[in-house]
Amino acid sequence: MIGAATLGMALPDELLHALPKEGEWIPYEEYWSTGICLQCPSGCGLRIRSVNRWPVKLEGIRDYPVNKGRLCPKGQAGLQALYDPDRIRHPLRRKAKRGEGQWEKISWDEAIPLVTQRLKKLREAGRPHQLLVLGGRYRGHMLDLMNRFMEAYGSPNHLGNPYRGSEGILKGHFFTMGERDFLSIHWEETNYVLSFGAGLLEASRPSMINLRGYGSLRRGRPGIRGKLVQVEPRFSVTASKADQWIPIEPGTDGALALGMAHWIIKEKRYDQDFISRYTFGFEDWKDSSGKSRTGFKTLVLKEYSPRQVSQVTGIPEETIIRIAGEFSSHRPSVAVSGRGVGMQTNGAYSQMAIDSLNALVGSFDRRGGLLLQRRPPFQIWPPVQRDAISERGFSQTRIDGAGQLPFPFAGEVPSRLPEEIGRGEPYPIDTLFLYYTNPLFSIPESEKFRTALEKIPFIVSFSPFMDETTRLADLILPDGTYLERWQDDHPEPGPGFSMVGMRSPVLDKPLHDVRNTGDVLIEIAKGLGGSVERSFPWKDMKEALRETIKGVFKSKRGSIRTKDFDEFWKAMVDAGGWWEDSYPFGEWKKKFNTPSGRFEFYSQTMERGLSEFFRKGLKDLNSILEELKIEAKGDKAFLPHFEKPRLIGEEKDFPFHLIHYKLMTTAEGRGANQPFLQEIFGPHLKEKWDSWVEINPVTARTMGIKDGDAVWVESKIGKVKTKARLFPGTHPKRIHIPYGQGHRAYGRWAEGRGINPNDLLGREYDYLGGFLSHFSTRVKVYKA
């Protein structure tokens, strides 16, 4: 916020907008400040150039560990979020029927008491658990703040997972390592990257580290050109830039990993030292009762020879052997995954198999391997104050059934909400908060969700934009954009070593009459009084953040070291954040957070979790596995293995398998309201401002479909009309639709444009992983 205060006396408006004619020079006042991008979850550092008070250009902070001075196209388009003409400019109260779009402007002084009064009554009636919060892109301590609010208020119904759509990967890491974050690649020193459907150059996490990393893999080290191998059914941008593209039968990534593991074990190419010192369950073992148990090695050697795997994956045996050879002999090598793994009914097991590959070559926490994200030394906030009402409310069962069978390991199951809310079981929901989430766009079968929302008497949205779900709200308390508020940001995964970014308002006040939701939440808590108020001993979000950052200051480590905290804070805001200088490799004992303290081929975490249920005398193991739709029995169920993916729709009625994908321009469908991104939407097919369905050219010809023809795509769930594009990177039996278009609201640039693949998808699950598998729907295609 350098110099922002001095710019209070703004220039007249006509001067602000003036551009010089050729040869002319109009004087202006310029200054630079810092911020953190939020166009995707990467969390890149921003240098913001402002002219006469207004931001005019975003660049990267040169030494910021995530992006090192660079930005992706979404980052570059960020000012179009700030200046979006369709932003919500002040609090709004619904006037006519829900969804009719009739609003009246109200002041913040009127609006906040509307929420406080309602929540107060709900609490006094002993029903605080009937508050439901759906949150999305939380960053930094905003998630902690909302969790804190829910605990103090007394509701367990917070669905705030910022990693929605990638839970399969996280669950795999959790079962094998007890790790709850994504891992990033130590690109600077790796020699071989084997990607199982990771959109490393399109939509991955952390996007900028991967783009930058790709450059350094190729030409960062004189004489060494690292290799990239892409395993993916569709020929993506990443596949086109890879050294090899290996097309695979969808949902069989786990089998391929195990086939490679078979060869690596058989040929003794694995890291024997790492396996014996830091892993559990590789060899057969005896449990405490002396019973002999199956190890990873025995299972893999018996069931996953490259020949067996070749039949499942459709990949030739010699290819499997070749990449197994390359992977194990070009160390440091890493195996990474993406949506291809995380969106299938067997996602968690597939990820365990891929993690096992990494364990075999010992690539965790090593130079050129995979990095386990360290957390910053924050000062912990004082404990939450809870009274009898919040104790009772907080201990109610969650409405979405997360943590119960058949979702024993799920933190949340948003896609089950329509039924649960609709039935009003186990209890009705009274009030809903929406924070940075838009389930009517992002969850399949959104019509059911819409119907369920009708049952909720009071809906509050904090969105800066009029998205599909916000349109159904009764009250909107708009937040600003990421350039206008105080908010910290610790990227997970980031560069591995701990770091924290700091957003500060680029303008002396937000562009419109909007407020940081953090501030609003603290104000609501204060209005509720009692223990809820006492849980929030801060004036606003900035003060709460200052308290956490004191821990970083006291650590006396990293990029900023000062004597005095105020000095530290100022330096941190100016620099855009604080970070450590190096990554502590080889801390396996500290980082593997499993019952054995090692990497677990055999997941005792999973075994213990499930045995909770049969210890309670509810069910025996086999019937639990059956309920989770797991075919394996006994020890195999706790080891990485291949489960056949389940699909919705029969092949004879629905001959195509629908797999949607993401483009660089649209990571999560949030950029659709930015014209710069719309106009470069799909470069591989020169598509702009629209979506389409990709069909194999040969298949299309036999169906009489020409490039550009209008077609219907139909599944058991629904049908959509769109444009056919013939793309040779499509398998004859699959079709692909880019994700991100098909908004029914969200401003003039996004609304009514293209199609949303969620309108076709059914709801099938990886029950063990506890998430919806998006790639499980079959469709048919015919000319419109």
Partner 1 sequence: MVIDLDRCTGCQACVVACRQENNVSFAGEKEARLGRAKFWMNLISEAKGTYPDVEMRFLPIPCMQCDHPPCTIVCPVAATYKNPEGIVAQVYPRCIGVRMCISNCPYTVRYFNWQAPSWPDDYKRGRNPDVYKRRKGITEKCNFCIQRIRKAKENAKREKRTIRDGEVIPACAETCPSEAIYFGDLNEPKSRVYRLSKSRRAFRLLEYLGTEPKVYYLKEGEWDDG
Amino acid at 321: I
- How many CA atoms are closer than 13 Å to the CA of 53, on its beta-carbon side? 17
288's CB contacts (< 8 A; 6+ apart) are none
Instruction: Determine, following the binding rule CB under 8 A, whether residue 247 of this chain makes contact with partner 1.
Output: yes
Considering beta carbons, is residue 426 or 708 the nearer one to partner 1?
708
Amino acid at 306: P
What DSSP designation does 687 have? B
Task: Report the alpha-carbon distance of residue 689 to residue 754 in Å, rounded.
Answer: 8
Contact 431, 445 (CB under 8 A): no
Segment interacting with partner 1 (CB under 8 A) among 405-413, 484-492, 549-557, 730-738: 730-738
Options 8, 9, 12, 22; binder of partner 1; rule CB under 8 A: 22
Amino acid at 336: V
Give phi and psi for 576, each to the nearest 5.
85, -5
Options 205, 670, 731, 763; binder of partner 1; rule CB under 8 A: 731
Residues 83-112 as x/- pattern, contact with partner 1 by CB under 8 A: xxx---------------------------
Angle between helices 347-360 and 253-266 (to 10 degrees): 30
Options 103, 196, 235, 436; binder of partner 1; rule CB under 8 A: 235
| Phi-psi group of 99: left, alpha or beta (phi > 0 → left; psi -120 to 50 → alpha; rest → beta) | left
Contact 717, 761 (CB under 8 A): yes
Binding-site size, partner 1 (CB under 8 A) = 79
For the CB of residue 477, give the shortest distance to partner 1 in the complex, in Å: 21
Residues 171-210 binding partner 1 (CB under 8 A) are 201, 208
Segment interacting with partner 1 (CB under 8 A) among 177-185, 280-288, 585-593, 724-732: 724-732
Considering beta carbons, is residue 2 or 26 the nearer one to partner 1?
26
For the CB of residue 442, give the shortest distance to partner 1 in the complex, in Å: 23
Instruction: Determine, following the binding rule CB under 8 A, whether residue 57 of this chain makes contact with partner 1.
Output: yes
> Which of 84, 14, 13, 25 lies closest to 482 in space, CA to CA?
84
Q: What is the DSSP string of 564-592?
A: SHHHHHHHHHHHTEEE-SS--TT-HHHH-
Residues 619-638 binding partner 1 (CB under 8 A) are none
Residues 37-56 binding partner 1 (CB under 8 A) are 51-52, 54-56
Options 46, 185, 194, 237; binder of partner 1; rule CB under 8 A: 237
For the CB of residue 325, give the shortest distance to partner 1 in the complex, in Å: 20
Instruction: Determine, following the binding rule CB under 8 A, whether residue 678 of this chain makes contact with partner 1.
Output: yes
Cα of 2 vs its chain's centroid, Å: 32
Task: Report the alpha-carbon distance of residue 61 to residue 67 in Å, rounded.
Answer: 7
> Which of 589, 586, 643, 494 lies closest to 177 in space, CA to CA?
589
Options 222, 290, 383, 704; binder of partner 1; rule CB under 8 A: 222
Considering beta carbons, is residue 219 or 644 the nearer one to partner 1?
219
- How many CA atoms are closer than 13 Å to the CA of 523, on its beta-carbon side? 15
Instruction: Determine, following the binding rule CB under 8 A, whether residue 215 of this chain makes contact with partner 1.
Output: yes
In 3-state terms, what secondary structure has residue 58? Answer: strand
Task: Report the alpha-carbon distance of residue 469 to residue 461 in Å, rounded.
Answer: 8
Considering beta carbons, is residue 457 or 732 the nearer one to partner 1?
732
Instruction: Determine, following the binding rule CB under 8 A, whether residue 11 of this chain makes contact with partner 1.
Output: no
In 3-state terms, what secondary structure has residue 275? Answer: helix
Segment interacting with partner 1 (CB under 8 A) among 289-297, 331-339, 548-556, 669-677: 669-677
Options 61, 211, 502, 737; binder of partner 1; rule CB under 8 A: 211
Cis peptide bond prior to 595, omega within 30° of 0: no
Instruction: Determine, following the binding rule CB under 8 A, whether residue 21 of this chain makes contact with partner 1.
Output: yes
Instruction: Determine, following the binding rule CB under 8 A, whether residue 729 of this chain makes contact with partner 1.
Output: yes
Amino acid at 7: L
Considering beta carbons, is residue 49 or 550 the nearer one to partner 1?
49
Options 680, 712, 716, 780; binder of partner 1; rule CB under 8 A: 680
Residues 685-704 binding partner 1 (CB under 8 A) are 685-686, 688-690, 696-698
Between the CA of residue 1 and those of 72, 76, 487, 505, 690, what are the distances in Å?
23, 20, 14, 7, 38
Considering beta carbons, is residue 52 or 390 the nearer one to partner 1?
52
Considering beta carbons, is residue 129 or 670 the nearer one to partner 1?
670
> Which of 625, 639, 646 lies closest to 258 in space, CA to CA?
639
Instruction: Determine, following the binding rule CB under 8 A, whether residue 732 of this chain makes contact with partner 1.
Output: yes
Options 94, 186, 212, 386; binder of partner 1; rule CB under 8 A: 212
Instruction: Determine, following the binding rule CB under 8 A, whether residue 12 of this chain makes contact with partner 1.
Output: no
Contact 104, 95 (CB under 8 A): yes
Residues 737-756 as x/- pattern, contact with partner 1 by CB under 8 A: ----------------x---
Residues 65-84 binding partner 1 (CB under 8 A) are 67, 69-73, 75-77, 79-80, 82-84
Strand segments (E) across 106-225: 131-135, 158-159, 183-185, 192-196
Give the DSSP H or E segment for 360: helix 347-360
In 3-state terms, what secondary structure has residue 459? Answer: strand
Options 95, 121, 225, 423; binder of partner 1; rule CB under 8 A: 225
Task: Report the alpha-carbon distance of residue 134 to residue 130 in Å, rounded.
Answer: 13
For the CB of residue 184, give the shortest distance to partner 1 in the complex, in Å: 15
Instruction: Determine, following the binding rule CB under 8 A, whether residue 136 of this chain makes contact with partner 1.
Output: no
Considering beta carbons, is residue 219 or 721 the nearer one to partner 1?
219
Options 282, 304, 601, 727; binder of partner 1; rule CB under 8 A: 727
